[in-house]
Structure 1
């Protein structure tokens, strides 16, 4: 306290008071500057977040619409494939039915062939010879008939020649 009341202390107090006021001003300005910088950074970050949000929202909406279009195309392709598969299945079923019918026809023909082979085996070849004889007899009868027809036509022509001359 001794120093506080001394006459030399007055100018020191003034200097200290001025220094304190100057430091307060500097600190206050520093805090205001810092506060302004923080507010600027926060505002800039907010604007950047808004911009990013808008860009990503637009990209997501575009992506969503593309996904919907792709899903529609996939659905159409699935329907086409299903239709093709159904047609192919019907074609295979029809082919199997047709093949079964042909196999049954072939089986029937083979059975008939085997039966005729058995008949031929037991007949000892007589049926073939008999068929040939019948064919020869039929041909002889046809030849005789044709011959007689030609003779009768020739006789008629001769009669006509005689009559017309």
Structure 2
């Protein structure tokens, strides 16, 4: 099953060094039955894009947590795309979390197919969005506008052999 795993640049560096993304359990997003039912008219590619977008939102939350903890890595959303055994994937029973899945095992590099990463020019918008996220969650329309501004940036696709270049 193709799974989209939210990440940060720091976590991507740890993954590259360790040879796997972990430890388990890991939260990810995938084309689940609930997502297919919700997005009735979409084809597989559209549904995978929805799962990727959900993972990018989760990555933004990870960046916000890092900023709150004083982590100084560049604010670039990262999503790892991996093809994992179905047996390692547990679909969320909560229908409101349409595409959310849990992985019961770490993801070795050999299962990682690509990394999707914000371009460097997105950093100011992503950082502003991460800082505005709490207010946006509380219903602040201006803060939501800031978050939406970061989501307007498309993530760039990198093959696994390009990950060192992204980190360098």
- TM-score, normalising length: structure 2: 0.17
Question: More helix by proportion, 1 or 2?
Answer: 1
Q: Which has the larger radius of gyration?
A: 1
Question: More strand by proportion, 1 or 2?
Answer: 2
